[in-house]
Amino acid sequence: MERGTAGQELERFEALPLDAKLREIWLGGRETNGSVARALREIEEGRLARQEIVFRVTRLERYWTQMTAIGAFVVLVVAPAMMALIDVLMRALLRA
């Protein structure tokens, strides 16, 4: 359906018989409702996507915290033990 200015559209609409006017009003309402439904679907999809992002970021933060704790453990506990072992081995090599 070709669209013109608002005045031309009104003149075309007023020239229609009553059943055609009612059909056009009904179709226009369906088109509007479809647009509203589509917009509501997009809003809901955006909300779900946001929830998924929040969930993933939370998991990533938890993972990062765990890896930081493991790293701190390695630096504070394992590294000094490794240094002591290396020191013992070096002394044994120097004596031999």
Percent of the chain topping pLDDT 70: 94
21 contacts 13 by C-beta, under 8 angstroms: yes
pLDDT at 69 (0 to 100) = 92
Per-residue pLDDT for 25 more than 60? Answer: yes
What's the rounded Cα separation, in Å, for the pair 76 and 64?
18
Query: pLDDT at residue 24 above 60?
Result: yes
Q: Residues 69, 73, 74, 79: is their CA dihedral positive or negative?
A: positive
> Sorting pLDDT into bands at 50, 70 and 90, what band is 86?
very high
Query: In a 3-state reduction of DSSP, which class is residue 16?
Result: coil
Residue 81 structure tokens? 């033990």
pTM for the full predicted model: 0.47
Distance CA 23, CA 27 (A): 6
Per-residue model confidence (pLDDT) at position 75: 85
